[in-house]
Amino acid sequence: MVLVGAFSGALAGLVLASVLANQVWLAIVTAFVAVAIALLVRRVVFGSPLRLLIPRQLELWQALVATLVGGLAGHELAIDLREPAVSPLIGATSGLIASILMATFVITVSSRKS
């Protein structure tokens, strides 16, 4: 999930750089794309959704929190790493942090059910 989140965030940052001029919104949108793709990869890896049963509302709230925190933290980290930050760097750091948060959530929920 983490590698897919970083790669998809970087790719989304590269693609959306011409559409979104504001870097903060770019970071949040790329974090959302990374979380969505990381969740799809989780479904593929774990197979059936019944194997890892997470309530939809809880998954949605965690995805929103991971998107906001990952996007804002990734933006700040990208600015600290390189000034001015390039859009793939913003997307990669935002996607990486957001997917780490989602992976942590999945691990926590799956370990509590065992």
What is 23-52 written as a DSSP string?
A: HHHHHHHHHHHHHHHHHHHHHHHH-STTTS
Return the pLDDT at 94: 94
Nearest to 100 by CA among 69, 59, 77: 69
Rounded to whole angstroms, the Cα distance separating 43 from 61 reads: 18
pLDDT in tens, 1-58: 888 989 999 999 999 988 988 889 999 999 999 999 988 887 787 765 555 556 677 7
Domain regions of the chain by residue span = 2-113
pTM above threshold 0.75: yes
What's the pLDDT at 98? Answer: 94
> How much is the average pLDDT of 78-98?
88
DSSP assignment of the chain = -HHHHHHHHHHHHHHHTTT---HHHHHHHHHHHHHHHHHHHHHHHH-STTTS---HHHHHHHHHHHHHHHHHHHHHHHHHHSSSPPHHHHHHHHHHHHHHHHHHHHHHHHHHH-
Is residue 43 left, alpha or beta, with left meaning phi > 0 and alpha meaning psi from -120 to 50?
alpha
Q: Place 114 in a pLDDT band, splitting at 50, 70 and 90.
A: low
Cα separation, 107 vs 54, whole angstroms: 11
